[in-house]
Structure 1
Amino acid sequence: MRALLVLMLGAFVAQTTEYLPIGLLPQIAHSLNVSEARVGALVTGYAWVAAISAMPLTLATQRLARRRLLMSLLGVMTATNTLAAFSSSYLVLATLRVATALTHGVFWSMIAAYAVQLEPDVPATRATAIALGGIPLALVVGVPIATAIGHWAGWRNAFAAYAVLGGIAILLSARYLPAAVDSNIGTEHGVPRGNASLYWAALATTLTVTTHFIGYTYIVPVLSDVVHLPVARHAAVLMTFGLAGAAGTIVSGWLDQPPKRLSIIAAGGVTASQGAILLTGSDQIAVWLEMALWGWSISTLIVGLQSWAIAIAPHRANTASSLYVAAFNMGIGTGALIGGAALDADGVASVLKVGVVTGSIALLSFTMPWGLPGRRIPSR
């Protein structure tokens, strides 16, 4: 179980690193003298690099020892976060984000299969949920703490803090992850072919994740300009989002539900929460409930979509996961880009409007007749 907790820490570092500019968006924009939309592009560029590189880099590294690969990926994240803390220009920061993004697709493609191999006596869905627990933890404490550090000590210190944590994750990996485990045992290699359901699931993933990131990338401006929430309360609201996300991950890991059904319910929650914020506006009580629904929904969506991909191609779990990661990150980049365009064109409220429209399209994508109905993943 200690090995799974180490993977959870690594996932926490990786996920928080990806989302760092979101909570620090105003500080980075002011410090580097660029617009908030350009800072949002740091998320867009990161996601697109991860999307493009996920499949080829996963295929290129799938025969490497898992522990060594994991430590190398964490090492790159640690180094780039350290350098980001000293960056003095937008170009330097953007370049470092590209370098970090190259680790992202491989990291998330390997972690689920690696978790199952590390703990063969633990049900597969539970092992995966524990390893992926770093994702909601990043939302519960990672992004809110980074936001707080950025508010009180500057955004560079936030990057430095997670560089230190990345170093700790590397040391714990060396101590507690066995060198002999091969997460590719019993799996086939290569790109999944002749599987229309898998590629349709990837499209549904892109649309639903786009919906989330249209709004979430610009959540700080939304809280400020739509809800009129004081800046001092932003970190607490984001923590509420993350706590609900942690609950969503735990519950979805134990529910015996077909992953497609779980994904549809969660996609509906992501869409409904953005619409609710738009409707309630400056109601500062309602926003806590809306952000909790949003947090629960996106964490449940992550588990549901990845489980759906693995269920469709169980004998090619790594490459199916890499396709899911590529689709997920395409959604991140597309969402951030669309949200930024809406922000520049018609203000913050339009970000939520576009999110609701995109979410409705995403929900329709699950109804297409050639999509896989979904099935439960055997526990072992």
Structure 2
Amino acid sequence: MSVTNSTVKAKDVFPWLIMILMSSVTFVGILSELMPSGVLPLMMADLNINEVQTGNLVGYYAIASAIFAIPLISLTMQYNRKMLLMILLGGFAVSNIAAGFMHNYMIIIVLRVIGGICAGVMWPMIAAYGMRLVDEKHHGKAIAVIMAGTTLGISLGMPIMTSIGNSYGWRTEFIGLGVVIILIAIISYFALPSMPGERLTKSSSPFALLKIPAVLIVLLLTLLGVIAHYGVYVYITSLVDEIQLSGGVERALLYFGIGSLISVLLAIKYTDKYLRLLTVAMFALLIISMSLFLFSSESSWIGHFAFFLWGLSFGPLVTLLQAAVSRQVETAKDVATSVQSSVFNLSIMIASSVAGLLLGIYSPMSLVYLAIGLSIPGLIISIISKKALGPQL
């Protein structure tokens, strides 16, 4: 009895240091995925490829994540969570360091696919891993803290890595990230608690989850929100050039990052109680920020403010959607979040491809119109989805 009570007490105390360490994993995970976006011109020149091919370095990574997430999460459910994370971090490190030494575009694509496969397993697994370490009332907070790494990666990591890439070359950027991932893996090996896997049952299978209406609503919101955001973000350098923003992409990412940091702090505090309100606000802010880009060429401060508002919208994206889908199941949350993660990554691939096609035909402002067009139905669905997102608004 005393052992049970101590376990309950331990879970009731929120393990900040463990969650922050897990957040560092998502930090390097998002950098591994998006780094090519900040150094598109450098990679185009060095590898002698066009803009769409460079965008595919993000797109193929994302589609690998989408394709392999559900089957690999299902296959690895029974394995110890900590040991699985060590393998995934090793995959991230190898794919980035090796890419930094390669000069053949197709080999780099293969390495990006390997990284994408690791990401496809890591994103849903680490969220569920963290939730199992805390009491149910802290599940939203656990996801918010762990996924804050994605926001920090975009807001702080991307500007830093882009600066390193511009100063020392994109290869140094990739190799440097690989070394950081190895350091995080070593710390995680000694600091993270061991956690056994779970058995996969028929009731918790991906196909069973897809029969739940609330899960389908969350997946639709994922599709709309991710394509809207990433369709613009993958080609952020093209947007900055189009509106002739003072300070360039580094200044844009700075304001974007400040907004993201503010919103992720709000998500940590309020996701468990106000999930639907935050989701509605996310889509509303995206519409407002994209609308401001249409007028930003007239004044730099409008452009900078638009990037700030976009960051406010972008910051809690992963947290809100993963928290929403995890609410729909009692067990095997890894599988639930893997389904959402697959749709998330598939949406990034679609965003990269569609945005690349639009960019080849129209100006970068077409991506802004795409984001607005997808955000409006997302906003409406969020407002009316009481069962999927909760009654509080």
Q: How does the TM-score come out when normalised to structure 2?
A: 0.89
Partner Cα separation in structure 1 for residue 57 and residue 349 of structure 2 = 9
1:307 corresponds, among 309, 312, 323, to: 323
- Please state whether the residue corresponding to 2:331 is helix, strand or coil: helix
Q: CA deviation at 1:237?
A: 2.2
1:327 corresponds, among 340, 343, 346, to: 343
**Residue 83 of structure 1 corresponds to which residue in structure 2?**
98
2:148 corresponds, among 124, 133, 144, to: 133
Partner Cα separation in structure 2 for residue 146 and residue 282 of structure 1 = 30
Matched, 1:205 2:222: yes
- Please state whether the residue corresponding to 2:300 is helix, strand or coil: coil
Change (3 A) 1:123 1:196: closer
Task: Look up the equivalent residue of 1:356 and give its one-letter code.
Answer: I
**Residue 215 of structure 1 corresponds to which residue in structure 2?**
232
Partner Cα separation in structure 1 for residue 136 and residue 288 of structure 2 = 39
Give yes or no for contact 1:14–1:104 (8 Å, CA) kept in 2.
yes
Partner Cα separation in structure 2 for residue 93 and residue 271 of structure 1 = 35
Matched, 1:182 2:199: no
Q: CA deviation at 1:57?
A: 0.8
For residues 157-204 of structure 1, what are the alpha-carbon distances to aligned partners after superposition, in whole Å with 9 as ceiling and x for unaligned? 11011001100111001110122x236499974223431221232122
Give yes or no for contact 1:198–1:313 (8 Å, CA) kept in 2.
no
Q: How does 1:120-199 map to 2 (within 5 A)?
A: 120=135, 123-179=138-194, 181-182=195-196, 184=198, 189-191=204-206, 192-193=208-209, 194-199=211-216
- Please state whether the residue corresponding to 1:139 is helix, strand or coil: helix
1:353 corresponds, among 338, 346, 369, to: 369
Matched, 1:68 2:83: yes
Deviates more, 1:84-93 or 1:306-315: 306-315
Partner Cα separation in structure 2 for residue 357 and residue 178 of structure 1 = 44
Gaps of 5+ in 1: none
Give yes or no for contact 2:382–2:389 (8 Å, CA) kept in 1.
no
For residues 196-245 of structure 1, what are the alpha-carbon distances to aligned partners after superposition, in whole Å with 9 as ceiling and x for unaligned? 2212321221111100011111111111122x125x54223202212321
Change (3 A) 1:122 1:4: farther
1:342 corresponds, among 337, 358, 370, to: 358
Q: CA deviation at 1:277?
A: 0.9
Q: How does 1:205-244 map to 2 (within 5 A)?
A: 205-226=222-243, 228-230=244-246, 233-244=248-259
Deviates more, 1:260-269 or 1:199-208: 260-269
Q: Among the aligned pairs, what percent are the same residue?
A: 25
Change (3 A) 1:301 1:22: same
RMSD over equivalenced CA pairs, Å: 2.3
- Please state whether the residue corresponding to 2:294 is helix, strand or coil: helix
Change (3 A) 1:373 1:120: closer
Task: Look up the equivalent residue of 1:358 and give its one-letter code.
Answer: L
Task: Look up the equivalent residue of 2:147 and give its one-letter code.
Answer: L
2:61 corresponds, among 35, 46, 49, to: 46
Deviates more, 1:274-283 or 1:65-74: 274-283
- Please state whether the residue corresponding to 2:73 is helix, strand or coil: helix
Task: Look up the equivalent residue of 1:182 and give its one-letter code.
Answer: P
Task: Look up the equivalent residue of 2:17 and give its one-letter code.
Answer: R
Task: Look up the equivalent residue of 2:242 and give its one-letter code.
Answer: D
Q: CA deviation at 1:249?
A: 1.2
Partner Cα separation in structure 2 for residue 373 and residue 133 of structure 1 = 22
Give yes or no for contact 1:139–1:239 (8 Å, CA) kept in 2.
no
Give yes or no for contact 1:150–1:157 (8 Å, CA) kept in 2.
yes
Q: CA deviation at 1:358?
A: 2.4
Gaps of 5+ in 2: 1-15
Give yes or no for contact 2:79–2:197 (8 Å, CA) kept in 1.
no
Give yes or no for contact 2:77–2:199 (8 Å, CA) kept in 1.
no
**Residue 125 of structure 2 corresponds to which residue in structure 1?**
110
Number of residue pairs matched by the alignment: 373
Deviates more, 1:215-224 or 1:109-118: 109-118
Partner Cα separation in structure 2 for residue 183 and residue 117 of structure 1 = 11
Partner Cα separation in structure 2 for residue 7 and residue 306 of structure 1 = 16
For residues 238-276 of structure 1, what are the alpha-carbon distances to aligned partners after superposition, in whole Å with 9 as ceiling and x for unaligned? 022123212211101211544233222202222321221
Q: CA deviation at 1:30?
A: 1.4
Deviates more, 1:112-121 or 1:50-59: 112-121
